[in-house]
């Protein structure tokens, strides 16, 4: 007889965002629902000599609204964003992390890069003025896990404290791993997601050298165009997306408002190439299948996918191929959108912000659009919700994240039912 272990149910009770189109959940959602792009010319540094001069920067953000000035100087911008989004998410959830529960509340906030600004700034000091001028706060301002560490300190969360640096899958891995941590009983609640701030001279130059970025310097607002025939690369973005996950009975006991349930998580590796996705779509197919299998959900029940959809020629082609292989002919009945058309690609924060978007799509009965969709590509021939948001009540949402090095994650969210 097969052993059956009853898994603890995990629900989403709080959401927080800092994005290129808004510094809160409500401002971001309103912008996305209206199809607004966050792309513009880079303000953070002089781009005169750069082949790419635009990005999706966070705008009008003041870290001193969240952190004291003395402390803010010890942190990279990605940490500022994580603190702000976490503060909104915890407040939204109504979760009071007192001494009684603190050891069962954890943090898991990932980043692909950490703080490139600190690395570039302190390296310049080293070369110009010598090692004695390097800041003692350089390392804790830059390393990836300090977003999670700083949030845990601020919220007295003494449970699991972790982070991954799995490139563009990092935020999704943080949510999925947190789901499993709660499911197996190692925590009752997790503050989880991703944060990134890598719009720096070195980063932009590096991604441009890879030919990964769009070069539409004459028209930044229309540069990110996932699945569209004339796409030519992604637009780098920044920000943070945080979810509060809780074990169902833990949330019920405090009468928490529940946005949705997390029911499936998959992770796979392409074992193919350092930057290019698997040209057979195998890794993407298997990660979606694993998320569905984990949830014991028939693929026929999925009617909406928040795609990875980077606006690069190969990613969008192979993700489309993988969706077809996973869902067969039903792929043509599935609504798909890439919110990166509006936010740009937030790298390690992408899975976090797109996790928030996926949950809100269920909760608010609205599927976000893929903007800048003008000319269809014969190799990308599915329903990408072109240009206009679509009202729809969906039960399941699948969210895909694929990263350099062939690291893949898929999350399956479900409309909450008693």
Of 159, 213, 163, 217, the closest CA to residue 184 belongs to 159
Distance (Å, whole) CA 159 – CA 87: 17
Query: In this structure, are residues 116 and 170 in contact, taking their beta carbons and an 8 Å threshold?
Result: no
By the 8 A CB rule, do 241 and 349 touch? yes
* Strand 161-162 to 189-196 pairing: unpaired
The DSSP-derived string for 335-398 is: EEE-THHHH-B-GGGHHHHHHHHHHHHHHHTEEPPB-S--SBBTTB-SB--BSS-EE---SEEE
Residue 92: other Cβ atoms inside 10 A: 19
Q: Which of 242, 218, 246, 249 is nearest to 232 (CA)?
A: 218
User: What are the residues whose beta carbons fall under 8 Å from the beta carbon of 366, sequence distance 6 or more?
Assistant: 33, 360, 389, 390, 391, 392
Give the residue numbers marked as catalytic: 168, 308, 345
Distance, in Å, from the CA atom of 187 to the CA atom of 332, rounded to the nearest integer, reads: 39
Q: Which of 80, 207, 170 is nearest to 351 (CA)?
A: 170
> Are 31 and 59 contacting, i.e. CB atoms less than 8 angstroms apart?
no
Helix (H, G, I), strand (E, B) or coil at 236: strand
Q: From residue 52, how far is each of 70, 312, 315 by CA, in Å?
A: 34, 15, 20
Sign of the torsion formed by the C-alpha atoms of 269, 342, 49 and 195: negative
Structure tokens at 106: 């954890």
Contact 193, 85 (CB under 8 A): yes
Q: Which residues pair with 10 in a beta bridge?
A: 247, 262
């Amino acid at each position: 007889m097969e052993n059956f272990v009853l898994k603890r149910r995990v629900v989403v009770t709080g959401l927080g965002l800092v994005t290129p189109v808004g510094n809160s959940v409500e401002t971001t959602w309103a912008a996305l629902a209206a199809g607004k792009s966050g792309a513009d010319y880079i303000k953070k540094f002089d781009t005169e000599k750069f082949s790419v001069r635009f990005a999706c920067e966070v705008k009008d953000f003041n870290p001193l609204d969240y952190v004291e000035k003395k402390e803010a100087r010890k942190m990279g911008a990605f940490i500022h964003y994580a603190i702000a989004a976490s503060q909104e998410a915890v407040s939204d959830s109504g979760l009071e992390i007192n001494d009684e529960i603190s050891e069962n509340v954890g943090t898991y906030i990932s980043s692909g890069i950490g703080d490139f600004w600190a690395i570039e700034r302190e390296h310049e000091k080293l070369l110009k003025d010598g090692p004695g001028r390097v800041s003692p706060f350089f390392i804790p301002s830059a390393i990836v896990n300090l977003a999670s560490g700083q949030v845990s300190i601020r919220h007295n969360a003494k449970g699991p404290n972790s982070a991954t640096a799995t490139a563009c899958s990092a935020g999704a891995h943080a949510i999925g791993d947190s789901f499993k941590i709660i499911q197996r009983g190692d925590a009752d609640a997790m503050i989880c997601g991703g944060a990134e701030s890598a719009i720096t001279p070195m980063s932009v130059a590096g991604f441009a050298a890879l030919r990964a970025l769009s070069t539409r310097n004459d028209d930044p607002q229309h540069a990110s165009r996932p699945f569209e025939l004339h796409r030519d690369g992604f637009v780098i973005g920044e920000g943070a997306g945080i979810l509060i996950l809780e074990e169902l009975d833990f949330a019920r006991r405090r009468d928490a408002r529940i946005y949705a349930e997390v029911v499936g998580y998959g992770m796979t590796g392409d074992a193919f190439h350092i930057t290019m996705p698997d040209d057979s779509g195998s890794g993407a197919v298997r990660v979606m299948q694993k998320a569905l299998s984990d949830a014991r959900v028939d693929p026929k029940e999925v009617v909406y996918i928040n795609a990875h959809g980077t606006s690069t020629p190969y990613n969008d082609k192979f993700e489309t191929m993988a969706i077809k292989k996973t869902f067969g002919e039903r792929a043509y009945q599935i609504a798909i959108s890439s919110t990166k058309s509006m936010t740009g690609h937030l790298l390690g924060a992408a899975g976090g912000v797109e996790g928030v978007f996926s949950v809100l799509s269920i909760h608010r009965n609205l599927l976000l659009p893929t903007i800048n969709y003008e000319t269809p590509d014969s190799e990308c021939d599915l329903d990408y919700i072109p240009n206009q948001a679509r009202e729809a009540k969906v039960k399941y949402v699948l969210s895909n994240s694929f990263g350099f090095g062939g690291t893949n994650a898929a999350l399956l969210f479900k409309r909450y039912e008693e």
